[in-house]
Amino acid sequence: MKKFVSHTLTILLYTILISMVAIVAISKISGGESTFMGYQLKTVLSGSMEPTFQTGSIIALEPTDNGSQYKKGDIITFQKEQDVLVTHRITEVKGSGENVSYLTKGDNNDGADLEPVLAGNVVGEYTGFTIPYIGYVMDFANSKLGSLLLLVVPGLLLFGYGAFSIWREISSIEEKDEEKESAKAQ
């Protein structure tokens, strides 16, 4: 039973360490712009689209090169200003061809957005895939403190567990040697 618990704990600690390394590495390598199988993963920072998706969730977007292809009811992510992305539902499509613009609104907002969205500002479309609350972990992993804690703490736990296992085995060997010595003395 001790070996089962020991092996299970070892596997659990390694899994945690590898998971944390993967989260931090993906966040750092992508510069915070996580992608998975061609889809962009974005963190929801406000409640404007609740209950469609919750604050702190991650959502998957299908990136676009042609922002003029969307229709009323689609949920799009667009560049509102420098370094500010917004994900809202299209309430009306204006214009055609290269002159398309969209009126948008957050599902939880009382009114429509004040500025129309130009087709060229559309980054992608929401795919319907969301994971609640994992966005908080991704944002934390992107911070310096988060990177440090998510890598160092599991590593220290694994190191401590390894040191404890070695100490336990050495103690066990020493006890067996002492038992053999006392058996020889008799």
Instruction: Compute CA distances 77 → 10, 74, 99, whole Å.
Output: 42, 10, 18
CB 117 within 8 A of CB 89: no
Instruction: Report the distance separating Cα 40 and Cα 55, nearest Å.
Output: 17
CB 165 within 8 A of CB 5: no
Lowest mean pLDDT among 20-24, 80-84, 158-162, 173-177: 20-24
Q: What is the pLDDT of residue 75?
A: 92
Sheet strand arrangement including 117-118: 34-36, 39-43, 58-63, 122-131, 75-81, 84-94, 101-105, 117-118
* 78: pLDDT strictly greater than 70: yes
CB 126 within 8 A of CB 59: yes
Q: What is the pLDDT of residue 146?
A: 80
91-127 pLDDT tens trace: 999 887 778 889 999 988 998 888 898 888 888 898 8
Kindly state the average pLDDT of the residues 124-138: 84
Set 46, 143, 171, 172: catalytic member: 46
Asked if 46 is an active-site residue, the reply is yes
Instruction: Report the distance separating Cα 161 and Cα 87, nearest Å.
Output: 45
Structural domains present in the chain? 23-150 (2.10.109.10)
Q: What is the pLDDT of residue 10?
A: 77
